Amino acid sequence: MMKHKECLKRVWYFYTMIDITLPPDLKSHSEGTGPVRKQHPVYADLLPPCNHACPAGENIQAWMALAQAEQFEAAWQVLMADNPMPAVCGRVCYHTCEDQCNRAHIDSTVSIHAVERFLGDEALKKGWKIEHAAAPTGKRILVVGAGPSGLSAAYHLTRMGHYTEIREAGPLAGGMMHFGIPAYRLPRKELDLEVERIQDMGVSIVYNHKLEEVLKEKEEGNFDAVFIAIGTQLSKKIDIPGRDAGKILDAVTFLKQVEDGNAPRLGRRVAIYGGGNTAMDAARTVKRLGVPEAMIIYRRDRENMAAHDFEAQEALDEGVKINWLRTIKEMDGDSFTVEVMRLVNGKPEPTGQFETLEADNLILALGQDADTGFLRDIPGIAFKPDGTVIVGPDMMTGSQGIFAGGDMVPGERSVTVAIGHGKKAARYIDGFLEEKPYQPAIKHPLVSYERLHRWYTTHAPRKEQVDLPSGSRVGNFDEVKAGLTEEEALFEAQRCLSCGNCFECDGCFGACPEDAVIKLGTGKRYAFNYDQCTGCGVCYEQCPSHAIELVPGA
């Protein structure tokens, strides 16, 4: 039989002879080869766009590679090094990683969040344990708030060997994950189990403890540092002429009441004012409470709304009506006067045209603010006009040893962003405690689709998660989206292109005409024998993931 090496060479020769798309620079890379070689190949680890876009800083490509090799528990361990709640994030993350996935140029993006959810759910089903063996350091950290950012910081600090205690104003952990995200998007079982796992590591959570005096509790508890992550619990208000306080609710309070089993009595028609994800959640929750008509009033159009488009589409599928380009001017009992708006350079402007809408109740979903008043007396802490706390690149406030993150600091607000803040703060807190400031690693260059050498094309559209039929959703809080099966998750993981990093396809090994590529064994990649290499660049040209660079030099 033909030896493997010779077979690979013939395969490469075949592809160079047929009419197939190849990078155009083969000739230029072949100049100056042999005794007068002017370049040589090196293995490069470039930054895949999915990793770059992840707010939690996950090494997506690494755990995806293990998942596609059916090493699911190992993949979960890599995932857990960055994100302590994959079963949660696999459901509620807005997967910006997928927005940047290079696979979109071939067929469709890899369903990264669905594979993450699969791994998270498998860990809960099978009781996988976190690899955690850091020796106790004797350092103590106080975390204020048991939302996603506080839980993340406590998790990472505990893995580093520090004692961490969370003090939470409410009766449960999770923050807005528990009280703000409805169960049809985030089932409480998975959330509670992931919180329980963090507690099992040794994280202490004190409930029903609203912290008012940070410096006093820091000193009395003998804490070496404090991380504050209280989120945004205060709904923004608006003055509507003629408003009837008895008919107006704020979305945050409304969603909390529903979660607690104390849903308010609503009429047959409920209006929701706002166009963000919370407005969509409130409207969909209203429908699930049996209200025949839920309508959203929003001053922009669909293309310019704050909510993600799929959130709006799911609301529409469930019978929610959306009145685009409308703003409430006044209310009189059940009657609302709304003004028609127009967009000028993306900003809504009044037209002077008015309409009348009827609703029994109004839910305000205009955004949330952080209740940071208790920090005003701490010297050094500065605030933005909206009350958010200003932090440095190290997540520390202007007060030494007091850090902050999550929704209460300026920036984008989401569960995954908050989790990323917690991890980042933990690293800087660890450096602060050890008096060895944390230095982030220098990021590798980003690899775009144009840099990939796709000399072959494989079309394999993504596996979509199954949705409950829209008619079956209203009237209950059952989870809308189902997860992937093991077979589907494996298929989806295998769609990853491994952008910028070697996945040991043997292409360079088979293509090299001088036998200058040396296999080092599974997981160890390859090496180059520069005594035999002529610098022809064939290995570079055929590497599908652009894991090889040509650099000047003999």
pLDDT, position 33: 54
pLDDT, position 454: 84
pLDDT, position 4: 46
pLDDT digits (tens, 9 = 90+) for 220-249: 999 999 999 999 888 888 888 877 666 889
Nearest CA-CA partner of 165 in 109, 117, 207: 207
pLDDT, position 73: 97
Amino acid identity for residue 146 in this structure: A
Is residue 145 scored above 60 in pLDDT? yes
Out of 312, 343, 368, pick the residue that ends a domain.
368
pLDDT digits (tens, 9 = 90+) for 535-549: 999 999 999 999 999
Examine residue 449 and state whether it is found in any structural domain, yes or no. no
Which H or E run contains 330?
strand 326-332
Kindly list the strands in the beta sheet with 321-323, ordered across the sheet, starting from the edge strand earlier in the chain: 248-250, 361-364, 269-273, 293-297, 321-323
Question: Do 279 and 344 sit in the same domain of this protein?
Answer: yes
Question: Do 261 and 362 sit in the same domain of this protein?
Answer: yes
* Neighbour-count burial of 455, counting CB atoms closer than 10 A to its CB (0-12 exposed, 13-18 middle, 19+ buried): middle
What is the total count of domains within the chain? 4
pLDDT, position 247: 85
| 56, 80 Cβ separation under 8 angstroms | no
- Give pTM, 2 decimals: 0.89
323: CATH:
3.50.50.60
Tokens 């975390």 locate to 143
- The CA distance from 55 to 59, in Å, is 11
Boundaries of domain holding 310? 240-368
The stretch 258-262 carries a mean pLDDT of 91
Examine residue 397 and state whether it is found in any structural domain, yes or no. yes
The stretch 433-442 carries a mean pLDDT of 92
pLDDT digits (tens, 9 = 90+) for 173-194: 999 999 889 999 999 999 999 9
Confidence of residue 132 (pLDDT cuts 50, 70, 90): confident
Question: Do 206 and 248 sit in the same domain of this protein?
Answer: no
The stretch 290-304 carries a mean pLDDT of 95
Q: Please list, residue by residue across 3-26, b when 16 or more beta carbons sit within 10 angstroms of its beta carbon and e when fewer do.
A: eeeeebbeebeeeeeeeeeebeee
Question: Do 462 and 533 sit in the same domain of this protein?
Answer: no
Examine residue 429 and state whether it is found in any structural domain, yes or no. yes
Question: Do 99 and 11 sit in the same domain of this protein?
Answer: no
pLDDT, position 30: 45
The stretch 333-351 carries a mean pLDDT of 92
The stretch 315-334 carries a mean pLDDT of 93
Confidence of residue 470 (pLDDT cuts 50, 70, 90): confident
Question: Do 15 and 60 sit in the same domain of this protein?
Answer: no
Is residue 17 scored above 70 in pLDDT? no
Out of 445, 464, 493, pick the residue that ends a domain.
493
Tokens 């310019």 locate to 304
Question: Do 268 and 364 sit in the same domain of this protein?
Answer: yes
Examine residue 512 and state whether it is found in any structural domain, yes or no. yes
Question: Do 103 and 201 sit in the same domain of this protein?
Answer: no
Confidence of residue 68 (pLDDT cuts 50, 70, 90): very high
CB atoms near residue 516 (< 10 Å): 22
Question: Do 103 and 81 sit in the same domain of this protein?
Answer: yes
Q: At what angle do helices 277-288 and 251-259 cross, to 10 degrees?
A: 40
The stretch 264-270 carries a mean pLDDT of 93
15: CATH:
3.30.70.20
Is residue 28 scored above 60 in pLDDT? no
Nearest CA-CA partner of 184 in 453, 467, 436: 467
pLDDT digits (tens, 9 = 90+) for 99-119: 999 999 999 999 999 999 999
Which H or E run contains 89?
helix 86-92
Kindly state the tokens that stand for 403.
């850090």
pLDDT digits (tens, 9 = 90+) for 504-517: 999 999 999 999 99
- The CA distance from 373 to 211, in Å, is 12
Nearest CA-CA partner of 510 in 29, 14, 46: 14
Percent pLDDT > 70 in the chain is 93
Confidence of residue 2 (pLDDT cuts 50, 70, 90): very low
Question: Do 329 and 248 sit in the same domain of this protein?
Answer: yes
Is residue 3 scored above 70 in pLDDT? no
Examine residue 135 and state whether it is found in any structural domain, yes or no. no
Question: Do 189 and 270 sit in the same domain of this protein?
Answer: no
Examine residue 442 and state whether it is found in any structural domain, yes or no. no
Question: Do 201 and 258 sit in the same domain of this protein?
Answer: no
Examine residue 441 and state whether it is found in any structural domain, yes or no. no
Question: What is the greatest pairwise CA distance in the chain?
Answer: 90
Examine residue 327 and state whether it is found in any structural domain, yes or no. yes
Out of 368, 400, 418, pick the residue that ends a domain.
368
The stretch 382-386 carries a mean pLDDT of 91
